[in-house]
Amino acid sequence: MEDPKIIAERIIANVEKVIIGKEAEVRLTLISLLCGGHVLIEDVPGVGKTILARSIAVSTGCNFRRIQFTPDLLPSDVSGVSIYNQKTGDFEFRAGPISAQVVLADEINRATPKTQSALLESMEEQQITVDGITHKLPEPFMVLATQNPIEYEGTFPLPEAQLDRFLLRIHLGYPSMTDEVLIMEGQQRQHPIDALDKVTNPAEILSMQHAVKDIYVDPLIKQYIVTIVDATRKNTSVYLGASPRGSLALYRTAQARALLDGRDFVVPDDVKELAYATLGHRIIIAPAARVKNVTAKEIVEQTLERIPVPGARARDGAPPQAAYSDASRTTSQQTTR
């Protein structure tokens, strides 16, 4: 397999032909794909949520399906249905739109909880069960769900069990004025996605997913991850902290970030960089703190400031030569003293 870092940079550069000025968000989406996880994109309409999903699918050569979630959508409309064939006398399974490699669940919070729950099995176990028969989903498999955080009329908030299934939550936000001009110029004659070509294939993505699992994580960094997650559970402003699935998410995404940076080991900066994206949507703010406008982002940031950053060792026990941030190095030295 070609160097994973080169493949990743090629994918990101290709997606950025369509999604302008959002390299960090594109990188997070790719990290989720390499971890075999799913992404919740929470933002206002018109900032490119759907185009991001389509661009990732085209760039990786994966097939793409879109599910428009509405109040009248049924679980069978998502997973599929068995239809009786009069010629053969048997029931034949007709797969629903969930049976694709990259699935966009558009405005997921507009569907009823019963339909939302149709995604739980597919997101967690990469399979669906219809009429007692289990069907495996294609690989790689990723769900990108979108929801509008502003408009609440006619919506059904995602339950905590559903939110916990998303590896990352990202916010695209409005582009800068310069980027918005570039977006207009790029779409003067046609949409850039119409000319987008694939730069890799699903087989290489699967190879990169396997490579992520081989990235070394020092026991000190594992303990650092667990300490961060445990601190969210003990924070007085938090009603419910991150689950062990949050620890696993932070662990795996840190491995993927190291791979994208060309390293075969995780450093503390990987954990710090991904802490909010992996844990923010798993934290439920206590009512008293919510009245004071305390946010999950503030809680995660305060937690990272309070917990000492550990040193890190390479596989042979020697200090790695890869770059750490000055803040991480300084904190590590203070901890050693």
**Considering the domain boundaries, does residue 89 fall inside one?**
no
150 lies in a domain?
A: yes
Within-domain flag for 83: no
Asked whether residue 327 carries a pLDDT value surpassing 80, the answer given is: no
Number of separate domains in the chain? 2
* 132 in the same domain as 49: yes
Q: What is the pLDDT of residues 271-322, one digit of tens each?
A: 999 999 999 999 999 999 989 999 999 999 999 999 999 875 555 555 544 4
Read off the pTM. Answer: 0.86
Tell me: do 20 and 163 sit in the same domain: yes
Among the candidates 208, 240, 260, a domain finishes at 208
Q: Are residues 140 and 172 in the same domain?
A: yes
Do both 183 and 240 map to the same domain?
no
**Shared-domain flag, residues 279 and 195:** no
What CATH number does the domain containing 300 carry?
1.10.8.80
Q: Is the dihedral of CA 221, 222, 225, 231 positive or negative?
A: negative
Q: Are residues 242 and 295 in the same domain?
A: yes
Structural domain span for residue 118: 4-73+99-208
Mean pLDDT, the chain, whole residue set:
87
Residue 90 lies inside a defined structural domain of this protein: no
pLDDT digits (tens, 9 = 90+) for 122-149: 898 899 988 888 889 999 999 999 987 7
199 domain-assigned = yes
Is 305 a member of any domain? Answer: yes
Cα–Cα distances in angstroms (integers) from residue 239 to residues 236, 266, 290, 299, in the given order: 8, 31, 10, 12
- Which of 187, 208, 229 terminates a domain? The answer is 208
Q: Which of 13-17, 99-103, 145-149 has the lowest mean pLDDT?
A: 145-149
Maximum mean pLDDT: which of 54-63, 179-188, 312-321:
54-63
Say which CATH number the domain at 197 has: 3.40.50.300
Listed residues 208, 230, 262: the one ending a domain: 208
Same domain, 119 and 262: no
Asked if 225 and 204 sit in the same domain, the reply is no
